[in-house]
Amino acid sequence: MTILFFAHGGEAFLNEVTFAVLSYYQHHQANENKIVIYTDNVAHFQQVLPPEITYVSVTPAQVKQWRGTIDFVHRVKIEVLRDAMQRFPNETFLYLDSDVYFKQNITFLEEKIQRGTPVMSLQEGSIFGSHLRHFKALASYLREHQNTIDIDPPIVVSPQQKMYNAGIIGLSANDKPIVEQALAFTDFLHSFINNHVTEQFAFTVLLSQKGTIYEAEPHIHHYWYFKEFREIITQFLEKNKGKSFETLVALSTKVNPECMGAEKLAYKRMNFWQKLWQKMTKGRKWKIIYE
């Protein structure tokens, strides 16, 4: 299986991928899967990561092109998948956002994906009837357009459609048409709704039509809500600069974003009155939990 990451720009984003790879090696042997990093700074990773990592160099101009005429940052994810499917034919792919943490061995996902089981991160609830603003915007557009995304061929969205987080996407070599559809879907919809989840919605709908989506969250934690962890990673890498890769892997087991960010995630899931009670009784919204 080929595990794909995309990392460009500031050091904090590059470091997220470095830490994700450290967490991967907590549970996997070298060459158990192929890790491919699309990046504009190969040298940054080569200072820390082992030689079996594969890199695909990208330029700022290419990233800009991949954002498309809609200038959408998450459109790049689709273009990375398109490029990888051409560059590494007949592979099974697991695309991961940079802010992920491996909790266990995930090699078994390859067989699921090859059997046709769609894989994404986590179900986030129903599109219709949600209180979330970005879901409401999608639902409003769909109601006005008979639940149809008017591309060729048109895609009809089920009234029972759930949303799945796209921080993890598993695809087989046979899923090239889905990636092409996701690109057309995203370009079309984003031109009407400037919404940060249009690419996620595209993959959700298209993979749901393929079958029941398998949630990978129990195996790989996506800490999208915990941006403060970037500074913790930076401090970790600076403190342990010069140590062997094997030592960094061992030390990374003590720095767990799921545990450290648990209070913040719980707070984000509270309603207004629960948040108010939290602030009144504990005198804070949330805190980072250091073991």
Q: Is 152 helix (H, G, I), strand (E, B) or coil?
A: coil
What b-and-e string marks burial along 132-159, b requiring 16 or more CB atoms within 10 Å of the CB?
eebbebbbebbeeeebebebeeebebee
Could you identify the residue written with the tokens 């919404």? 195
The whole-number pLDDT of residue 240 equals: 97
Cα separation of 104 and 221, whole Å? Answer: 10
The whole-number pLDDT of residue 277 equals: 86
Residue 188 burial class via C-beta count within 10 angstroms: exposed 0-12, middle 13-18, buried 19 and up: middle
Cα separation of 167 and 174, whole Å? Answer: 21
The whole-number pLDDT of residue 52 equals: 96
The whole-number pLDDT of residue 278 equals: 82
The whole-number pLDDT of residue 262 equals: 87
Going by their DSSP bridges, the two strands 34-39 and 2-7 should be labelled as parallel
Q: Mean pLDDT of all residues in the chain?
A: 94
Q: What is the pLDDT of residues 9-54, one digit of tens each?
A: 889 999 999 999 999 999 999 989 999 999 999 999 999 999 999 9
Q: What is the pLDDT of residues 160-173, one digit of tens each?
A: 999 999 999 999 99
Query: CB-hemisphere CA count at 13 Å for 150?
Result: 7
The whole-number pLDDT of residue 77 equals: 97
Residue type for 250, please?
A
Local confidence pLDDT in tens for the 291 residues of the chain = 999 999 998 899 999 999 999 999 999 999 899 999 999 999 999 999 999 999 999 999 999 999 999 999 999 999 999 999 999 999 999 999 999 999 999 999 999 999 999 999 999 999 998 888 999 999 999 999 999 999 999 999 999 999 999 999 999 999 999 999 999 999 999 999 988 999 999 999 999 999 999 999 999 999 999 999 999 999 999 999 999 999 999 999 999 999 999 888 888 888 888 888 888 888 888 888 887
The whole-number pLDDT of residue 66 equals: 97
